[in-house]
Chain A
Amino acid sequence: QSALTQPASVSGSPGQSITISCTGTSYDIGPYKYVSWYQQYPGKAPKLLIYDVTERPSGVSNRLSGSKSGNTASLTISGLQSEDEAYYYCSSYTTSKSWVFGGGTKLTVL
């Protein structure tokens, strides 16, 4: 159950788009369409942004989108806003009937 690999940090200017990658293996991301993304502000509980690779829960901005290719999933945030500055985590179901999270990415809005 090794953690999924995310970049430690990404940054972008207001209005720009950024993409956060999440790399797994053929035992987690690869075989399934069960990748989720979460946003977490310091001291707060995580919030679900994307599930099943591409689906947005009700109320989540359409500036956010998810995708997957092979063993790597991605979260794209377009039209960056200051409130997007937070930590972002990915997760995936695994062949061991467990879940695994990524190490987290800090998004800085310049």
Chain B
Amino acid sequence: QVQLVESGGGVVQPGRSLRLSCAASGFTLTSYAMHWVRQAPGKGLEWVSVISYDGNNQYYGDSVKGRFTISRDTSKKTVYLQMNSLRAEDTAVYYCVRGDNHENWGQGILVTVSS
């Protein structure tokens, strides 16, 4: 069955960097776009980024554009989110999501940006 397992979260100081990983199994990564969606504590869902099924296109939400980079390693069946210049408002649970219909979600990983 489809499994998405996020890792790499934690507490980081403002201005620093963090890289999230999403280990995918149960499907072929090259057949699906992969997204990152986040949810700040007590708030709603916010779309962050997508990498196309072929890996050729990446798009970002306005709030992270220029600071975050999505990528993937098909040999490791892993999707990444490199987060630079982190701000307090980036504090959230980050979900790895399969497909443009957002049909499968990981359990989420908490990122806390605080000094």
Interfacial residues, chain A to chain B (CB-CB below 8 A): 1, 3, 34, 36, 38, 40, 45-48, 51-52, 57, 89, 91, 93, 96-104
Contact = CB atoms under 8 A, between A and B. Distances in A.
- Interface-centre pick from B45, B46, B60 (highest chain A CB count, 10 A): B45
Contacts of B107: 45
Contacts of A91: 45, 47, 102
Contact of B100 (A3, A45, A46, A93): A93
Nearest to B95: A45
Contacts of B60: 98
Interface of B: 35, 37, 44-47, 50, 59-62, 95, 100-108
A21 B50 CA distance: 26
A102 B45 CA distance: 8
A103 B44 CA distance: 5
A71 B102 CA distance: 21
Nearest to A98: B59
Given A45-B95, A97-B59, A99-B35, A38 B108 contact: no
B106 A101 contact: no
A48 B101 contact: yes
21 contacts: A3-B44, A38-B45, A45-B106, A45-B107, A45-B108, A46-B37, A46-B45, A46-B95, A47-B105, A48-B102, A48-B105, A52-B101, A89-B44, A96-B59, A97-B59, A98-B50, A98-B59, A98-B61, A99-B35, A99-B50, A101-B44
